[in-house]
Amino acid sequence: MKNGTIQVIYGKGKGKTTAALGMGIEALIKDRTVIMIQFLKGCQDQGTVELIKRLEPEMKIFRFEKCDGLFEDLSSEQQEEERMNIRNGLNFARKVVSTGECDLLILDEILGLLDQNILEKEELIKLLGTKVDDMEVILTGKFFSKEMEPYVDSILEIKQVKVDNTK
C-alpha cells in the first residue's frame, strides 16, 4: 500500500482479520508501528489476542468489549453496555487517526458496527476524513456499502467458494 491509503477487506468468507494482520506484520518488518482495534469480537478467542500481543510494542491490539458472547447474541441490556464500550473504542480510534499515533491502523470489524446500527456511515466517513496524510488504515467487516467507495483507495473482497471435487 502507498502512504496514506484507506483499504477495505470485506466479505462473508473467513480470513479478513488474518489478511489485515498479515499487512500489519509486513508493516512491522518495514519498521512501522501498528495499532489494531477490534470490534464485535467480545472477549472470545483470547488465544489469538495473546499471540498478537507478543508483537508488542510494535503492534498494539485493543478490545474495548467486555462480554464473552457475540454482540447479536447478547441480551438488550448487555448490548447497551457493550455499545458504551464500543463507543470508547471508537473514541480511541478517533484519537489515533487524528494524532497519527501509528503508521498503520487496523479497524477490525468496524464495518460490522454499521450493520449493528452502532455507527452511522457519516460518522465513519468523518472519522476517515480526520486521518493524517501518511497514515494507512485498514477497515474489515462482512459487508461493504458501495456508498463508501469514494472514501477508500482499495477494496479486497474475500469470498468462500465451495469446490466440487466429485468430477
Q: What is the pLDDT of residues 124-161, one digit of tens each?
A: 999 998 888 889 999 999 999 999 999 999 999 998 88
What b/e string do you get for 154-164 counting C-beta neighbours within 10 Å, with b at 16 or more? ebbebeeeeee
Query: What pLDDT score does 41 carry?
Result: 77
- Distance (Å, rounded) from C-alpha 130 to C-alpha 128? 5
Q: Give the number of domains in the chain.
A: 1
Would you say residue 1 lies in a domain? no
User: Residue 16 falls within a domain, yes or no?
Assistant: yes
For residues 80-102, average pLDDT: 92
Q: Cα separation of 6 and 129, whole Å?
A: 10
**CATH assignment at residue 133:** 3.40.50.300
Establish if 138 belongs to a structural domain.
yes
What is the reported pLDDT for 46? 65
Q: Do 153 and 22 meet the contact criterion of CB atoms below 8 Å apart?
A: no
Kindly state whether residue 162 falls inside one of the protein's structural domains.
no
What pLDDT digit, counting tens, does each position of 22-50 carry?
A: 999 999 999 999 999 999 876 656 666 67
In a domain, residue 99? The reply is yes
Q: Which is nearest to 32 in space by CA: 6, 63, 57?
A: 57
Instruction: Give domain status of residue 145, yes or no.
Output: yes
- State which residues form the domain around 91: 6-157
Q: Quick check: is 24 in a domain?
A: yes
Asked if residue 163 belongs to a domain, the reply is: no
Check pLDDT > 60 for residue 1: no
Residue from 105, 156, 155 nearest 130 by CA: 105
* pLDDT(51) > 80: no
